[in-house]
Amino acid sequence: MRLVVVSNRVTIPDRYEKATAGGLAVALREALEKYGGLWFGWSGAVGEDTRQVQRGNVTYAVTDLTEAERQSYYLGFSNRALWPIMHYRLGLTEFQRSDYMGYLGVNRRFARALAGLIQPDDVIWIHDYHLIPLAAELRRRGVTNRIGYFHHIPWPSADVLGALPFSATLVRTLAAYDLIGMQTELDVRNLIGGLVDLCGARQEGRRVRLGARETLMQAFPIGIDVEAFRRLAAASVRRAVTPLRATRESLGERKLVIGVDRLDYSKGIVQRLEAFGQFLLSHPEQRGNVSLLQIAPPSRSDVPEYAELDRMSDEVAGRLNAQLGEFDWTPIRVVKKAYSRTALAGFYRRAQVGLVTPMRDGMNLVAKEYVAAQDPADPGVLVLSRFAGAAQQMGEALIVNPYDTHEVAEAIRTALAMPKSERIRRFEQLYHVIETTDIDWWRRRYLEALTGVPLSTGAVEPP
């Protein structure tokens, strides 16, 4: 078999990139190298270029988007309609018919380009919400190969999703897949409920029958490359990476609480800053002893809701620093830039508390990276939102409700005061979980399920 991966963005690797790329990109690339294959998607550029690049036995086929497509398909429907509604944020959901048409148009164009590249024994693995109708469009062009979909973000219940115009039509296109992977059991239940309630599908256990087609739904919680991250963290301490050396100088013996997130409203960054402020207000004796470092590389800055978050996080951090800071101590540092993975691993290891408090998250890899980076002899404590998919697996973290500022503030206090024996006990259990469900496990399980699923041959209605 040959593997074909399709994702919204494709980065063609240069030869030195492996150590710095994210776990998912590396895992998919490794699977492609193992089977030989094709990775197809958007180049990330605006233009009219389409090109193929060969790296070993992997072909990267990328296409540019026009500015109109970027606006409607990517910024519009994907990021202002699907992203918020999938994260249960009806109030932030901005629907425009023209965006939806652009979204369908790009999926149709991708299908047209991809259909010409598919070989009879290819197994096709499509990633994420930008490409939900892609399989239906491929089927329409006569593609009968196995096609799987993995949804990286949450899937809300039918009454939330049902508020999105055309949601039933869109959800119906999922019947074109042979296997649908979700992050958690809750997402699977919601998805099946959506297919039943919105589209009149019939459920038989984990299989859903819609018209003449049958699709298998299953949870595949994604993991990280634990071993690689552990090694990065250990190396960053030995080599004293520059930002870490600077941190040592500016922090001294002070404790560190860390947050690492794309600057996205789903991550609960503003609420987290408020919770840290609340912690310092309720526990004045802690002032001067601990700082919060929030690393927040900007993301989707062209979307108005993200620009607003950018402004609000500055405002809240500024207010709390002015209210609580001292001439020789800054309580909160928000750094809006990306660091190397080595530096990140070092920051995680230096931090006594990992604060991972999204309002909603498919999985959240930062929670797993924080644990992987800890010193087993003196580990830090993970504070984790119950609304991150990771909370389903990582029950030994301090689980919090991110909407409850006081609860998060008290969890920070508990984490900072936790005796070493309890920190080690919790760390060992968490490490065991992330190690036994790492990124290789995820990829293997998914591909085994996809190659084993019985093929369904019925036709599917295009959107």
Q: How far apart are CA 388 and CA 406, in angstroms?
A: 19
243 binds ligand GDG (CB under 6 A): no
22 binds ligand GDG (CB under 6 A): yes
366 binds ligand GDG (CB under 6 A): yes
Question: Residue 376's closest CA among 324, 329, 423, 325?
Answer: 423
> Is residue 152 flagged as an active site residue?
yes
Binding mask 287-316 for ligand GDG (x = CB under 6 A): --------x-x-------------------
Written as six digits, the tokens of 125 are 């693995």
Q: How far apart are CA 281 and CA 260, in angstroms?
A: 23
- Applying CB under 6 A, which of residues 130, 140, 172, 341 lies at the interface with ligand GDG? 341
Written as six digits, the tokens of 430 are 């968490």
Place of tokens 């503030």: 409
In the bound state with ligand GDG, the residue whose beta carbon lies nearer, of 295 and 353, is 295
338 binds ligand GDG (CB under 6 A): yes
In the bound state with ligand GDG, the residue whose beta carbon lies nearer, of 131 and 143, is 131
Name the minimum Å distance from CB 120 to ligand GDG.
30
Binding mask 174-213 for ligand GDG (x = CB under 6 A): ----------------------------------------
Q: How far apart are CA 266 and CA 275, in angstroms?
A: 16
Around Cβ 116, how many Cβ atoms within 10 Å? Answer: 8
> Is residue 404 flagged as an active site residue?
no
Which stretch of DSSP H or E encloses residue 64?
strand 58-65
Choose the binding region for ligand GDG from 203-211, 234-242, 360-368, 394-402 (rule: CB under 6 A): 360-368
In the bound state with ligand GDG, the residue whose beta carbon lies nearer, of 199 and 371, is 371
Print burial letters for 44-78: b (CB count within 10 Å at least 16), e (below 16).
eeeeeeeeeeeeeebbbbbbbbbeebbbbbbbbbb
344 binds ligand GDG (CB under 6 A): yes
Q: Which residues within the stretch 134-163 sit at the binding site for ligand GDG (CB under 6 A)? A: 152-153
> Which listed residue (87, 127, 151, 152) is catalytic?
152
Name the minimum Å distance from CB 365 to ligand GDG.
3
Question: Residue 4's closest CA among 120, 106, 122?
Answer: 122
CA atoms lying within 13 Å on the CB side of residue 213: 24
In the bound state with ligand GDG, the residue whose beta carbon lies nearer, of 111 and 400, is 400
Angle ∠(411,416,417) on CA atoms, nearest 5? 100
Residue type, 216: L
- Applying CB under 6 A, which of residues 222, 241, 269, 397 lies at the interface with ligand GDG? 222
- The answer to whether 153 and 83 are in contact (CB under 8 A) is yes
Binding mask 59-88 for ligand GDG (x = CB under 6 A): ------------------------------
Written as six digits, the tokens of 139 are 């089927």
339 binds ligand GDG (CB under 6 A): yes
What is the secondary structure of 288-300 as a DSSP string? Answer: TTEEEEEE-----
Task: Mark out the alpha helices in 141-286 (DSSP H runs).
Answer: 158-161, 167-172, 185-199, 226-239, 242-251, 269-282
Around Cβ 397, how many Cβ atoms within 10 Å? Answer: 27
> How many residues bind ligand GDG, per CB under 6 A?
21
Choose the binding region for ligand GDG from 114-122, 156-164, 326-334, 339-347 (rule: CB under 6 A): 339-347
Choose the binding region for ligand GDG from 45-53, 109-117, 156-164, 363-371 (rule: CB under 6 A): 363-371
Choose the binding region for ligand GDG from 10-18, 359-367, 405-413, 449-457 (rule: CB under 6 A): 359-367
* Straight-line distance from the first to the last Cα atom of the chain, in angstroms, rounded to the nearest whole number: 30
353 binds ligand GDG (CB under 6 A): no
- The answer to whether 154 and 219 are in contact (CB under 8 A) is no
- Applying CB under 6 A, which of residues 260, 334, 371, 391 lies at the interface with ligand GDG? 260
The footprint of ligand GDG (CB under 6 A) covers 22, 24, 152-153, 222, 260, 262, 295, 297, 338-341, 344, 361-366, 369
Which residues are identified as catalytic? 152, 361
